[in-house]
Amino acid sequence: MYMKIFPLHELLHVLAWLEGTWITDEPAVGTYPTIKPFNYFDEINITSIGQPLFNYIAQSWHPETGMPMHRETGFLQILPDTKKIALSLINNIGMFTVEQGDLTDDNNTIIDLKSTNILTTDASIPHFATVTETRRVFTRNGDNLEFIFYMATSKTPELTEHLRAKYRKVT
Ligand code: HEM
Ligand SMILES: *[C@@H]1O[C@H](CO)[C@@H](O)[C@H](O)[C@H]1NC(C)=O
Ligand SMILES: *[C@@H]1O[C@H](CO)[C@@H](O)[C@H](O)[C@H]1NC(C)=O
């Protein structure tokens, strides 16, 4: 018996619009007070196999060389009978983040999450400042998804923008 794919779980119906592949058409923008601004492309795959969670994979790459850059993967869950969201991620720079928040508007088009737990491995990048807090806001705008990511670090203690991207739904 192979594993079967089941229809979207009813808990996720309020977020059905999120399922699919989202890609940046224009280069996204990375900034931070301690680094040189940079551009990147990104693709987010959000899939479901019928469990009450979405599988989440985001992969970014250098806009000129195509070289893989930041990658993260995990699960996005909705707490039953609430609009509370939990996004659990592991990334390729040796960090785990638990980011929780809400669907903040009546139409379920804004997902606003803040870190509640951050863990690092011994393999995290030594010359990076330690991330102490994150916030990410996804806003649906028709077939587009706008994304802003903020972080605070040991050297930059206020939540400060790191990423700004606009995605288009491709499937
Ligand atoms: C979403 C989770 C992410 C986290 C938690 C994160 C974290 C960080 C941290 C802590 C730094 C170092 C800042 C400092 O030392 O003051 C950094 C730098 C950087 N990040 Fe991110 N980042 C994320 C996503 C991304 C993405 C999607 C890209 C795009 C490709 C990216 C590209 C970069 C680049 C190019 C630098 C500068 C590296 C250097 O100067 O050596 N990051 N990031
Ligand atoms: C994401 O989805 C696109 C379109 O279906 C596919 O081409 C790509 O391989 C997927 N990426 C990952 C990492 O699954
Ligand atoms: C929700 O969607 C309806 C119909 O598209 C729109 O009229 C209304 O302004 C939206 N409400 C919010 C809070 O975005």
Q: How does DSSP assign 31-93, residue by residue?
A: --TTS--EEEEEEEEEE-SSSSEEEEEEEEE-TTT--EEEEEEEEEEE-TTS-EEEEEEEETT
Q: With respect to residue 160, please indicate whether it lies within any of the assigned structural domains.
A: yes
Query: Which residues in the chain show pLDDT less than 70?
Result: none
Which residues lie across from 114 on neighbouring strands?
A: 100, 135
Measured distance CA(43)–CA(168) in Å, rounded: 9
| Residue-range definition of the domain harbouring residue 42 | 10-169
Measured distance CA(115)–CA(35) in Å, rounded: 22
Write down the pLDDT at residue 118: 98
Write down the pLDDT at residue 163: 98
The DSSP output letter for 158 is S
Q: With respect to residue 2, please indicate whether it lies within any of the assigned structural domains.
A: no
Write down the pLDDT at residue 123: 87
Measured distance CA(158)–CA(151) in Å, rounded: 8
Q: Ligand 3 within 6 A of 142 CB? A: no
Distance of CA 87 from the midpoint of ligand 3 (Å): 25
Q: With respect to residue 105, please indicate whether it lies within any of the assigned structural domains.
A: yes
Q: With respect to residue 135, please indicate whether it lies within any of the assigned structural domains.
A: yes
Q: Which residues contact 129 (CB under 8 A, 6 or more apart)?
A: 34, 153, 154, 155, 156
Q: With respect to residue 73, please indicate whether it lies within any of the assigned structural domains.
A: yes
Write down the pLDDT at residue 5: 97
Q: What is the CA radius of gyration of the chain?
A: 16
Write down the pLDDT at residue 111: 98
Which residues lie across from 41 on neighbouring strands?
A: 61
Nearest CA to ligand 2 atom 9: 45
Q: Best of 36, 39, 64, 93 to mutate for ligand 1, by most ligand atoms within 8 A of CB? A: 93
What CATH number does the domain containing 160 carry?
2.40.128.20
Q: With respect to residue 111, please indicate whether it lies within any of the assigned structural domains.
A: yes
Question: Can you say whether the dihedral through the CA atoms of 77, 83, 84, 89 is positive or negative?
Answer: positive
Which residues lie across from 68 on neighbouring strands?
A: 61
Q: With respect to residue 4, please indicate whether it lies within any of the assigned structural domains.
A: no
The number of distinct structural domains making up the chain is 1
Measured distance CA(35)–CA(47) in Å, rounded: 33
